[in-house]
Amino acid sequence: MIALKLKEAFGVDSVNELPIAFNIALYEQKAVIVLLALLSLGIKNIHLGPTLPAFLSPNVAKVLVENFGIAPISSVEEDVKILCA
């Protein structure tokens, strides 16, 4: 809801135009629900890790990468460089 309100306030067409980064650690089931919620809102360029979830088959992962820009997380230093660029 906050991102949607920010989209309205800044007058952009998509939440993806806002300077918001999503770096989701998939340590528990709640993180999968967060991921699914973000995907349902059309959020792109989400970083996941430390490993990709087991339910992501190669074909599903390919679709997510191609359509949503899903990428793995790496080291803290590398992630900060990527997310702050």
Confidence of residue 66 (pLDDT cuts 50, 70, 90): very high
The predicted pLDDT at position 74 comes to 82
Question: In the predicted model, what is the mean pLDDT of residues 44-72?
Answer: 85
- Whole-prediction pTM: 0.73
End-to-end CA distance of the chain: 25
Chain centre to alpha carbon of residue 70: 6
> Does residue 8 carry a pLDDT above 90?
yes
pLDDT tens-digit readout, 15-32: 999 988 888 877 777 888
Which domains are delineated in the chain? 19-83 (3.40.50.2030)
Higher pLDDT: 47 or 27? It is 47
3-state secondary structure the chain: CHHHHHHHHHCCCCHHHCCCCCEEECCCHHHHHHHHHHHHCCCCCCEEECCCCCCCCHHHHHHHHHHHCCEECCCHHHHHHHHCC
